[in-house]
Structure 1
């Protein structure tokens, strides 16, 4: 067993995020492990740019109201406990609602992330649907 000392919280770069977002590394595999896990916290209105992952990405919503959209799809509202999977190569963005902080755990493999253009305000304020229907 090894107790891992995590790096300091990092403010995420404006080239890839609109608004203020911070990440804490939970796990970054070395050697044969390509696993990655970060706790990411978004200020109200903050969001990623459009991007895709070479091997997909899973988000576990921890707190607040998350907004997630795949290119060409609806904006999905996700709540704490919701799990969202984006398959390999699917362009998407995720972030906080305009009036709420949001935190999620992001899980992915490898460093193959293709960062694209920023999400426009018109895209961000598009129509929404809930992640789950009860």
Structure 2
């Protein structure tokens, strides 16, 4: 297929048959996709900031608030006027949060594996890649991986100051084992 496009008044061909023009078009696509880097190594393009994955630091989650090995990557921190933070959280098999609640709602977007979220006094709900859980403010809950599988989600929380999350006791091991088996299907 021989494809042509006009970009900024320049006729470009997106076919190897056009030689130099195709190379210019490829360079334009790369430049448009990344833009110039700022001093922090981020890409800014039309007021959009792209933070490359290679620039993030993965940190262990605080052991006082989690059971098992849990890793966190901060994706976005609140920058006025926004109050939203986003964190990629990866749970090793059997890892989970303590019981906790937030002053504002929490949105969990499952990205890998099978995990669960459980509200105190209710049965657990399964989370698979692509599922979204919305936890209202003040609801005591926990979330994490099922036994035998990695699980990852992105947590979105609107912060209401530094103490937005109240951490409670760990989920009892017997309670976790009774519910953390892979769902059928």
Whole-angstrom distance in 1 between the partners of 2:106 and 2:56? 22
**Corresponding residue for residue 90 of structure 1:** 139
| Cα distance change on mapping 1:99 and 1:56 into 2, 3 Å | same
| Cα distance change on mapping 1:16 and 1:128 into 2, 3 Å | closer
> Structure 1 residue 33: deviation in Å?
1.4
Deviation readout 1:42-82 (Å, 9 max, x if unpaired): 00000000000111101111111111100101011111111
1:22-101 equivalence runs, <5 A? 22-101=71-150
Gaps of at least 5 residues in structure 1 are none
**Corresponding residue for residue 113 of structure 1:** 165
1:119-130 equivalence runs, <5 A? 119-127=171-179
Q: Which has the higher strand share?
A: 1
Question: Greater CA radius of gyration, 1 or 2?
Answer: 2
Aligned Cα RMSD in Å? 2.2
Deviation readout 1:56-115 (Å, 9 max, x if unpaired): 101111111111100101011111111111100000000001100001011110041010
What is the TM-score of this pair, normalised by structure 2? Answer: 0.66
Greater relative CO (CA pairs within 8 A, separation 6+):
1
Q: How many residues get paired?
A: 132
**Corresponding residue for residue 21 of structure 1:** 70
What is the TM-score of this pair, normalised by structure 1? Answer: 0.89
Whole-angstrom distance in 1 between the partners of 2:51 and 2:176? 37
Gaps of at least 5 residues in structure 2 are 1-46
> Structure 1 residue 130: deviation in Å?
9.6
